[in-house]
């Protein structure tokens, strides 16, 4: 498409200038108020894709807008450069991941720059930079010393495709790996964990005050999964110590201690340590079979067998009983795989009448139930298979069949039963979380080594700070074995103990790459301090991030870890006191979809931005992303998209021709008073400032663009047909200023041609309030809610005058047909509604 100006040259020119002049470099001693905008740093996968374009367009717009509003805007960029793709490429091609990664970084940097996105590149961070790794390891050491990093043997998620363990957060709901899609299996392994559960309550409570999208907060709340209840001991019958054997009891967790009188059996998880002791000889085979099956099955298999149909295979009676402390009656103990060892105590009291899972199980095994909450009228006692209300009743109601709890409501009964348990010394009020500690070990090469040494004498010894970073050697065997590639390298593995100098071995696991991304935003504030990850006072100056931008896919993983890290780093003295949350505002933009699927390399449906950058240019592509719809919504890339992008380019051409006419506009007479037509343009100009400014604040860029288009539609005929040059100049200059954050190159070039200086150093325009006040308004006149007439009226028309004008209107008289108005609703000056 032929263009009105030389798009490519102009874009290159300005990109060079912003970089050469350091236009967007700021320091902490800048007198302007600080504002920190950050777009999630990317994994360097090569040239930018459309998702990046969208992301960085929003971020860049904010940087430029806030700068024009008079802030010192911190806008850093970096690369999340550790990770599996580089290592997989190394396995395939033999190229070292560092070489592979550095090349991808250069490509991505180049394409981000050609978008016109501006950053303070002096602050660039790369996760695999030895300097960054050093501080990563220092942080690990501090967390270890504070007891927040620990090593434990635990059943963990193992991805056979990635040859490494995964955190719970990285396993999808269907039991597959979020990265490779392989079915994740359980393994018992010694692994490193971060004690994120210490912060469970704070992570939950802190959400309330964050200006984050509600659904992200809800996802985090669900993930943390707080539930309040009680733990209590159930004495095992026959094991009270009277026969000389040690007394035994089963500890259970429940959220409904108020239903204790309704416990008719108890269940332990197949992996529960007490199973062997509880199981009598005659039930041993059955229990063993169930345990074997549970151990062999994946979570998927367990779930696929859920439902009442397969319940009969899912449990086994142990032959033992425990005593319900509330009634004193013994109840049978079952082993069943619907109880999970990993949650609560791995054992439950079963109350079929008030829990649907217990109900289903009780039905399958012929176990009785006792209601302790009065169900509503019409509740089917047995809960037939034909549906309808019945079976377990989990709603509110009065306590029944519960002795001293009878007549109480559920919350009161809960509190009373917890009090009672505590008085009796057999239980305690307890809060449980779904959240587990963060498993950070990875058996991979391309990550930050965990800086720990194992000494026969001194155990786990952190590598001293002056010996950091621990770097992986380059000459390692990449082929995955299930062990870290570092473990097969004797030169790395064998070392000496920092404490005693004796022979020792190194930890060979590397850290989850989410560790790198959990504090990079802090590093950005001060990547230069030699003796700390960042200077506390400088971090205090910029933090928290005023606006964080990224994809919804990080709602749990990255955003939860980063919140945890921020709190933990404050607590170990690295981050400034008082900082509790890293990201004050979060915006999650929609993804780009094609043929109903997310546009991505792995789906093979990528549309390369480069083909647009070298044709219509960055400004047109940026304008498209801003215009196509609300930023939070997904974008569907269709056959029509190219036409829309062309439309955006066409619009920029129109702006260019208005701003930089081929032939200079006639000077025009600017001495007379302004005509109505002149004033109308001036009003529209100032109205535009107001609209665009408001739309920027509320992330409504699509309507901001629409307003600018509308304005050009209005201005164009005025300018062409001899409009006053002073009025046109004001209009055009204003338009360029408002476009400057969206389409920076064309705005900068046009401005320079008109004024000789730099538009992005100008201040954001303010509307003249006098011009925002309209003298006349179109008043709508309705009869019974139907529009019958539109009348131009004075903006300050009185209610009586509005009513009178409305009733005199010919179409209204027609519509009334002589009928007497029953009621007239006047909302001057906008509307009058006549009701008959």
Q: Segment 244-263, which members bind RNA (CB under 7 A)?
A: 253-256
CB 791 within 8 A of CB 806: yes
User: Pattern of binders to RNA over 601-620, x per CB under 7 A?
Assistant: --------------------
In DSSP terms, which residues pair with 337 in a beta bridge? Answer: none
Q: Can you give the length of the chain in residues?
A: 836
Phi, psi of 30 (to 5 degrees): -60, 130
Q: What is the closest distance, in whole angstroms, from the C-beta atom of residue 779 to RNA in the complex? A: 9
Q: Segment 775-794, which members bind RNA (CB under 7 A)?
A: 778, 780, 782, 784-788, 790
Virtual CA dihedral for 481, 487, 490, 493, nearest 10 degrees?
Answer: 180
Q: What is the closest distance, in whole angstroms, from the C-beta atom of residue 568 to RNA in the complex? A: 23
Per rule CB under 7 A, is residue 271 in the interface with RNA? no
The span from the CA of 669 to the CA of 723, in Å, is: 9
Q: Of the two residues 156 and 648, which places its CB atom closer to RNA in the complex?
A: 648
The beta strand positions in 482-579, using DSSP E, are 494-496, 503-506, 510-511, 547-551
Interacting residue with RNA among 705, 747, 759, 802 (CB under 7 A)? 705
Q: Of the two residues 604 and 756, which places its CB atom closer to RNA in the complex?
A: 604
Phi, psi of 791 (to 5 degrees): -125, 135
Q: Is 629 exposed, middle or buried (0-12, 13-18, 19+ CB in 10 A)?
A: middle
Q: What is the closest distance, in whole angstroms, from the C-beta atom of residue 782 to RNA in the complex? A: 6
Q: At 74, is the secondary structure helix, strand, or coil?
A: strand
CB atoms within 10 A of CB 223: 18
Per rule CB under 7 A, is residue 388 in the interface with RNA? no
390 HSE (CA, 13 A, CB side): 11
The span from the CA of 602 to the CA of 625, in Å, is: 23
Interacting residue with RNA among 18, 521, 651, 656 (CB under 7 A)? 651
Interacting residue with RNA among 411, 630, 661, 722 (CB under 7 A)? 630
C-beta contacts of 709-712 below 8 A and 24+ residues apart: 709/651, 711/684, 711/685, 711/735, 712/651, 712/654, 712/655, 712/658
Where b means 16+ CB within 10 Å and e means fewer, 266-276 reads: bbbbbbbebbe
Q: Of the two residues 279 and 700, which places its CB atom closer to RNA in the complex?
A: 700
Residue 253 structure tokens:
């967790």
Interacting residue with RNA among 284, 709, 771, 807 (CB under 7 A)? 709
Q: Of the two residues 569 and 635, which places its CB atom closer to RNA in the complex?
A: 635
Helix H or strand E segment including 138:
helix 130-145
Per rule CB under 7 A, is residue 773 in the interface with RNA? no
Sign of CA dihedral 521, 522, 526, 531: negative
Interacting residue with RNA among 76, 78, 229, 765 (CB under 7 A)? 229
Interacting residue with RNA among 105, 628, 652, 689 (CB under 7 A)? 628
Per rule CB under 7 A, is residue 80 in the interface with RNA? no
* Start-to-end CA span in the chain (Å): 58
Binding residues for RNA, how many (CB under 7 A)? 85
Q: Of the two residues 122 and 720, which places its CB atom closer to RNA in the complex?
A: 720
User: Pattern of binders to RNA over 684-703, x per CB under 7 A?
Assistant: ----------------x-xx
Q: Of the two residues 328 and 387, which places its CB atom closer to RNA in the complex?
A: 387
Contact stretch for RNA (CB under 7 A) within 89-97, 148-156, 609-617, 649-657: 649-657
Per rule CB under 7 A, is residue 434 in the interface with RNA? yes
Interacting residue with RNA among 165, 166, 269, 652 (CB under 7 A)? 269
Interacting residue with RNA among 292, 309, 761, 835 (CB under 7 A)? 835
The span from the CA of 625 to the CA of 742, in Å, is: 10
Per rule CB under 7 A, is residue 339 in the interface with RNA? yes
Residues 6+ apart with CB under 8 A from 468: 134, 137, 138, 141, 451
Q: What is the closest distance, in whole angstroms, from the C-beta atom of residue 174 to RNA in the complex? A: 8
CB atoms within 10 A of CB 484: 27
User: Pattern of binders to RNA over 436-455, x per CB under 7 A?
Assistant: --------------------
Q: Of the two residues 105 and 269, which places its CB atom closer to RNA in the complex?
A: 269
Q: Segment 4-43, which members bind RNA (CB under 7 A)?
A: none
Residue 467 structure tokens:
């010996």
Per rule CB under 7 A, is residue 638 in the interface with RNA? yes
Residue 290 structure tokens:
């169930």
Contact stretch for RNA (CB under 7 A) within 96-104, 107-115, 219-227, 453-461: 219-227
| Pairing relationship of beta strands 459-462 and 452-455 according to DSSP bridges | antiparallel
Q: Segment 485-524, which members bind RNA (CB under 7 A)?
A: none
Q: What is the closest distance, in whole angstroms, from the C-beta atom of residue 148 to RNA in the complex? A: 22
Per rule CB under 7 A, is residue 222 in the interface with RNA? yes
Q: Segment 277-336, which members bind RNA (CB under 7 A)?
A: 299, 302-303, 305-306, 314
Q: Segment 802-831, which members bind RNA (CB under 7 A)?
A: 811, 823, 825, 827, 830-831
Q: Segment 141-180, which members bind RNA (CB under 7 A)?
A: 172-173
The span from the CA of 656 to the CA of 749, in Å, is: 9
Interacting residue with RNA among 215, 245, 753, 755 (CB under 7 A)? 215
Sign of CA dihedral 655, 656, 660, 663: negative
Q: What is the closest distance, in whole angstroms, from the C-beta atom of residue 772 to RNA in the complex? A: 17
CB 834 within 8 A of CB 816: yes
Rg (CA), the chain: 34
Per rule CB under 7 A, is residue 633 in the interface with RNA? yes
Contact stretch for RNA (CB under 7 A) within 437-445, 466-474, 484-492, 633-641: 633-641
Q: Of the two residues 17 and 650, which places its CB atom closer to RNA in the complex?
A: 650
Q: Segment 548-577, which members bind RNA (CB under 7 A)?
A: 552, 556
DSSP classification of residue 292: H
Contact stretch for RNA (CB under 7 A) within 27-35, 537-545, 626-634, 669-677: 626-634
User: Pattern of binders to RNA over 341-370, x per CB under 7 A?
Assistant: xxxxxx-x------x-x-------------
Contact stretch for RNA (CB under 7 A) within 31-39, 67-75, 221-229, 472-480: 221-229
Per rule CB under 7 A, is residue 95 in the interface with RNA? no
Residues 6+ apart with CB under 8 A from 534: 522, 523, 525, 526, 527
Q: At 739, is the secondary structure helix, strand, or coil?
A: helix
Interacting residue with RNA among 437, 516, 653, 803 (CB under 7 A)? 653
Q: Of the two residues 433 and 454, which places its CB atom closer to RNA in the complex?
A: 433
Q: Segment 716-745, which members bind RNA (CB under 7 A)?
A: 716-717
In DSSP terms, which residues pair with 267 in a beta bridge? Answer: 334, 348
Q: What is the closest distance, in whole angstroms, from the C-beta atom of residue 726 to RNA in the complex? A: 22
Residues 6+ apart with CB under 8 A from 206: 563, 580, 581
In DSSP terms, which residues pair with 39 in a beta bridge? Answer: 549
337: left (phi over 0), alpha (psi -120 to 50) or beta: alpha
Q: Of the two residues 713 and 763, which places its CB atom closer to RNA in the complex?
A: 713
The span from the CA of 191 to the CA of 193, in Å, is: 7
């Amino acid at each position: 498409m032929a263009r009105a100006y030389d798009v490519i040259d102009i874009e290159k020119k300005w990109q060079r200038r912003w970089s050469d002049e350091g236009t967007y470099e700021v320091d902490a001693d800048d007198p302007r108020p600080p504002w920190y905008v950050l777009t999630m740093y990317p994994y360097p996968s090569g040239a930018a894709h459309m998702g990046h374009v969208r992301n960085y367009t929003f971020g860049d717009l904010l940087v430029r807008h806030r700068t024009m509003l008079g802030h010192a805007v911190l806008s850093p960029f970096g690369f999340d450069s550790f990770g599996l793709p580089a290592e997989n490429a190394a396995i395939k091609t033999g190229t070292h991941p560092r070489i592979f990664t550095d090349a991808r970084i250069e490509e991505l940097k180049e394409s981000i720059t050609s978008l016109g996105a501006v950053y303070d590149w002096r602050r660039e961070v790369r996760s695999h930079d030895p300097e960054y790794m050093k501080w990563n390891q220092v942080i690990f050491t501090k967390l270890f010393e504070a007891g927040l990093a620990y090593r434990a043997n635990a059943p963990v998620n193992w991805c056979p495709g990635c040859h490494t363990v995964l955190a719970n957060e990285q396993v999808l709901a269907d039991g597959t790996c979020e990265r490779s899609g392989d079915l994740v299996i359980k393994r018992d392994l010694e692994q490193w964990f971060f004690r994120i559960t210490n912060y469970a309550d704070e992570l939950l409570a802190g959400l309330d005050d964050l200006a984050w999208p509600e659904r992200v907060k809800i996802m985090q709340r669900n993930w943390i999964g707080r539930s309040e209840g009680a733990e209590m001991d159930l004495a095992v019958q026959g094991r009270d110590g009277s026969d000389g054997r040690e007394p035994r009891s089963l500890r259970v967790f429940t959220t409904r201690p108020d239903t204790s009188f309704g416990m008719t059996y108890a269940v332990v998880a197949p992996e529960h340590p007490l199973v062997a002791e509880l199981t009598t000889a005659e039930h041993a085979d059955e229990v063993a079979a169930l345990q074997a099956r549970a151990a062999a099955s994946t979570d998927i298999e367990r779930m696929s067998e859920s439902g009442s149909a397969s319940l009969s295979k899912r449990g086994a009676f142990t032959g033992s009983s425990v005593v319900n402390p509330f009634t004193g009656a013994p109840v049978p103990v079952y082993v069943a795989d619907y109880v999970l060892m990993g949650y609560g105590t791995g054992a439950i009291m079963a109350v079929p009448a008030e829990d649907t899972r217990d109900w289903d199980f009780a039905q399958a095994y012929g176990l009785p139930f006792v209601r302790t909450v009065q169900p509503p009228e019409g509740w089917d006692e047995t809960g037939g298979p034909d549906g309808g209300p019945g079976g377990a009743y989990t709603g509110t109601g009065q306590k029944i069949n519960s002795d001293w709890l009878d007549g109480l409501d559920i919350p009161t009964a809960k509190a009373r039963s917890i009090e009672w348990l505590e008085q009796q010394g057999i239980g305690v009020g307890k809060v449980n979380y779904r959240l587990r500690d963060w498993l950070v070990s990875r058996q991979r090469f391309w990550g930050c080594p965990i800086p720990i040494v194992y000494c026969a004498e001194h155990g786990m010894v952190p590598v001293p700070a002056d010996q950091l970073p621990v770097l992986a050697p380059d000459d390692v065997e990449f082929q995955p074995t299930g062990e870290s590639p570092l473990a097969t390298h004797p030169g790395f593995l064998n070392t000496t103990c920092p404490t005693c100098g004796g022979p020792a071995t190194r930890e060979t696991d590397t850290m989850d790459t989410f560790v790198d991304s959990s504090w990079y935003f802090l590093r950005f504030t001060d990547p230069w301090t030699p003796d700390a990850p960042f200077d506390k006072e400088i971090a205090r100056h910029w933090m928290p991030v005023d606006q964080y931008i990224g994809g919804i896919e990080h709602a749990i993983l990255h955003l939860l870890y980063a919140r945890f890290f921020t709190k933990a780093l404050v607590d170990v003295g690295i981050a400034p006191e008082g900082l509790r949350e890293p990201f004050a505002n979060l915006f999650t933009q929609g993804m780009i979809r094609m043929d109903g699927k997310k546009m991505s390399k792995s789906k093979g449906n990528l549309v390369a931005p480069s083909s647009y950058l070298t044709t219509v240019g960055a400004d047109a592509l940026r304008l498209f992303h801003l215009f196509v719809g609300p930023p939070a919504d997904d974008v569907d890339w269709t056959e029509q998209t190219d036409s829309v992008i062309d439309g955006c380019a066409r619009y920029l051409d129109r702006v260019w021709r208005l701003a930089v006419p081929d032939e200079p506009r006639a000077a025009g007479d600017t001495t007379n008073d302004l005509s109505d037509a002149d004033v109308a343009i001036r009003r529209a100009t100032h109205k535009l400032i107001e609209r665009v400014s408001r739309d920027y604040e509320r992330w409504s860029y699509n309507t901001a663009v629409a307003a600018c288009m509308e304005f050009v539609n209005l201005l164009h005929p005025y300018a062409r047909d001899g409009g006053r040059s002073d009025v046109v100049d004001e209009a055009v200059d204003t338009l360029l200023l408002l476009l400057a954050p969206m389409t920076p190159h064309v705005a900068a070039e046009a401005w320079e041609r008109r004024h000789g200086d730099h538009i992005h150093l100008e201040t954001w325009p303010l509307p003249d309030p006098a011009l925002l006040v309209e003298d006349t308004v179109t008043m709508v006149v309705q009869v019974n809610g139907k529009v019958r007439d539109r009348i131009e009226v004075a903006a300050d028309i009185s209610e009586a005058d509005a009513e009178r004008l409305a009733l005199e209107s010919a179409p209204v008289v027609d519509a009334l047909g002589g009928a007497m108005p029953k009621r007239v609703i006047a909302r001057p000056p906008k509307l009058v509604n006549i009701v008959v």
